Structure 1
């Protein structure tokens, strides 16, 4: 949810002029105009992905700042979903599991040319943990302080086993202290990534330039432009017309055309994200667990993959894919397509079939499914569910809006159910991620679901370091929530992305969705 809006174009501050002479040469030579399809020489690499950042503050839009190579975190998630140090060399934990000591990586400089210090880390983490709108603000972090220039101490009020994973989330991205304006807002993110912020127009584009002083492998792309193209069909057309070099999250229906094209290369990227349906558990018929279960038994996940998604992706029945996440409980209750079971549950709940629609006490089983346009296929999935649930007597309307309208409705509790797209592993890359979806006060879905035992188990799992004991806890959580079904699983997400054929080494991280812009190179050079 984006909470801050800045109605102006932001340029890098004068302090960035202190970058090394080599960097100044590049910046001076790279700011001119140019064509549309290179990334080296005079032309920038142009790309578009969904959800253009409405602010430049990691607390709000850290995902996008990290995805395009500006922002980095103390820990990172590799392609195998394992957590690794990024901006730190080593870390340790006290005997009581409440104090963590982290030693910063040597040789890391900020985009302004200054060395990264513990004070910068403290500045960034205090904002992440103390800003009310931050998704990390509810964590039991007591204080963050600098021990010396290279060492940071983090104290928690209780053991926090998921802290390394929490520190890999983009909301905990590390900025230099000079990133903040006088009023505390972030309008110039000075970070450590392979690309440095150049300019931002909140209505059209965000520009970055290569970080010539990057401590890792230097990117080959000199400049890049992130274009705001909200409609996925338009992204595909702009790629086809040569106006973009990379377009992400295209409609599945475009895959065959891209595959047959000679000037574009198709990339199908399997992810840890799920398409889900979220129920308002405190509203009308859906307050009855049997009705929610019936809706899931009526849904045909395989049919959705084959008919709506053109065979791209796979059905989803549980939070995690056991081939990717080893915290999966293989013994939980699942809801595979079973219309007879759905009908039986509705009969048990008092909903009898009459002229194709079920009624109770004279009232129809009428519900509205919301979908938003920002993610390809969600409106079509909602329409498929309308038919599938209608086959067992639900009377379903479909309401399609932009994300903002749905977000406002769910915050007010003004919805029956909605289909959405959420990452169920990677933010954090820890089973504690279930708090994002099932905790009564911490869930990011604005779900009214409340189960005291689930809240207690989530708290217990967060405090437990022993892996075997944690597995038992999260197995229990999965058993409860899969019976309660405050949300249901529909499909695993495979992203349809496309890049101009001349560009090589485009391979986004399937866990974090980071583009890997620093690895992309123009093979035609």
Structure 2
């Protein structure tokens, strides 16, 4: 049961959102050739850095060398095939005859230029790709030499950060100015805090889209975004509140799309000295005190899968035998007692002070507030005091980097590249740029460092399984919910399919009657 305090918080949050005015928009095109999409995030086509260039990949303005199909298998993109020709060298055969949106030729030199420019401008890309050298062997053959044997490279080349830019995407100083790619959609226009428009690439190397253009409308308010679809201001909407999903599913005027997809909502624990979660016993106890079944039902109306491990069971690299947590308040109490806490009435205390967690999250994702509030309520029921604060993503991150928190509830996409290296190393390695949790485990570091050198097979599986077991037992996180991707459209939209990565809008086959 969710506490009255949580219900009051949620009611206040929902009431507050209704005070925002719905952004004005022109009437939708009547010829059925324009699709208007309401998005939670602003599409920022004039910058590479926000959200790791994800919009360029989501909207398919730019292509990657390798893609993921609807079963998360590697398939050709701008590269038609690839092979590992030595422990540290990968060779890619590239498509011939492909042109960028500006008419210039795509070839190995263009791919080399783009990847080197990305690495220079976005430091995150350097560790993602682990590159020592890139060579254009011929117009259609590209070689990438890695700094060490690196089996994950083909998977990493599906990541949004590795999209291939034309030289005209950059100015004479090498700074990014606009996205010019080879994808099925061409960047057309951007109005700040309003919309981004893309149009069909008539010269696309694959099958050209059926629509003429797509307009991505920026509507950050969750209620306003759903209302825009219901009033006919937009054709398609992403990131719906659970209450909107139920209502639209019952209305024949709308189509609701719900599919399991990449994504984990989890609490990142501050393992540093500033937090009570520095003690692994307390971290383990918190994992045992939150009933994920109740969390999913109470916060998301059942739209999600209870998460007891970082990777979902159907992730190809998920450890088959792992010490999964379960809801066990008795064991949680024993762990807290071992950590020096005692139950005083209904509250856990140590040295006369209640065990209190400062829990941070951000409000831009529709699900974050109810998930965070419900987790806090469930911990309160078990005698742990909580202080919940919601910020913008940047505001929350500033506090996290300062170590001024106990738990930050975040979203991560553990299937995005179909390989564990991106997720385990970049998030939890003690030297990783994204590890803001002050957590360090040398055995874990050694395992993920080794795992990225191994080809897929029993040794690699065993190595990553051991790393996952350490992540589970040392508990720098509390997994909460594996995501169910939800979107909705008017009944006139056809041909849309949810991609399991959660990172392609995939409107190439969409039509509008």
| TM-score (norm. length: structure 1) | 0.89
**Residues 465-484 of structure 1: pairs in structure 2 closer than 5 A:** 465-484=455-474
5+ unaligned residues in a row in structure 1: which ranges? 1-32
Match runs of 1:443-522 below 5 Å:
444=434, 446-522=436-512
Q: 2:138 maps to which residue?
A: 148
**Residue 425 of structure 1 corresponds to which residue in structure 2?**
415
How is 1:169-208 mapped onto 2 (pairs within 5 angstroms)? 169-208=159-198
Paired residues of 2:108 and 2:142 also in contact (CA < 8 A): yes
Q: Does 1:288 align with 2:279?
A: yes
Question: Alpha-carbon deviations, 1:260-286, whole Å to 9, x = none?
Answer: 223211111211211111100113210
Question: Residues of 1 paired with 2:366 and 2:330: CA distance?
Answer: 31
1:357 deviates by 2.1
1:63 corresponding residue in structure 2: 54
2:328 corresponds in structure 1 to: 338
Q: Deviations over 1:240-265 (max 9, x none)?
A: 11111110011111111111223211
2 CA distance for matches of 1:344 and 1:470? 36
CA gap of 1:39–1:230, structure 2 versus 1, over 3 A, is farther
Aligned counterparts of 1:415 and 1:209: Cα–Cα separation in 2: 44
Worse-matched range after superposition: 329-338 or 287-296: 329-338
How many positions carry a matched residue from both structures?
Answer: 486
State the shift of 1:437 in Å.
2.3
Output the CA distance in 2 between the equivalents of 1:206 and 1:35.
Answer: 16
For 1:192, what is the secondary structure of its paired residue? coil
Residue pairs, 1:29-44, within 5 angstroms: 35-36=27-28, 40-41=32-33, 44=34
Unaligned runs of 5+ residues in structure 2 are 1-24
Task: Give the match for residue 19 of structure 1.
Answer: none
- After superposition, the C-alpha distances for 1:352-403 in whole angstroms (9 at most, x for unaligned) are 1224222212222111111211111221122212221122221101101221
- Matches of residues 230-241 of structure 1 in structure 2 within 5 Å? 230-241=220-231
| Structure 2 counterpart of 1:163, from 148, 153, 156 | 153
Is 1:74 paired with 2:51? no
Larger mean CA deviation between 416-425 and 326-335 belongs to 326-335
1-structure distance, mates of 2:173, 2:195: 24
- Cα distance, 1:64 vs. partner? 1.3
| Counterpart Cα distance in 1 of 2:429 and 2:129 | 13
Other structure's SS at 1:212 match: coil
**Is the partner of 2:196 in helix, strand or coil?**
strand
SS of the equivalent of 1:519 reads: coil
Could you say what secondary structure the match of 1:94 adopts? Answer: strand
| In 2: Cα distance, 1:50 partner to 1:411 partner | 25
The equivalent of 1:27 in structure 2 is: none
Q: Which residue of 1 aligns with 2:352?
A: 362
1:243 equivalent in structure 2: 233
RMSD of aligned C-alpha atoms?
Answer: 1.8
Displacement after TM superposition at 1:169 (Å): 0.6
Distance 1:339 1:37 in 2: 57
Q: What does 1:49-128 align with in structure 2 at a 5 Å threshold?
A: 49-54=39-44, 56-58=46-48, 60=50, 61-95=52-86, 97-128=87-118
1:271 corresponding residue in structure 2 = 261
For residue 299 of structure 1, report the CA deviation from its aligned partner: 0.5
Cα displacement string for residues 160-187 of structure 1 (whole angstroms, at most 9, x for unaligned residues):
1000011111101001111102332222
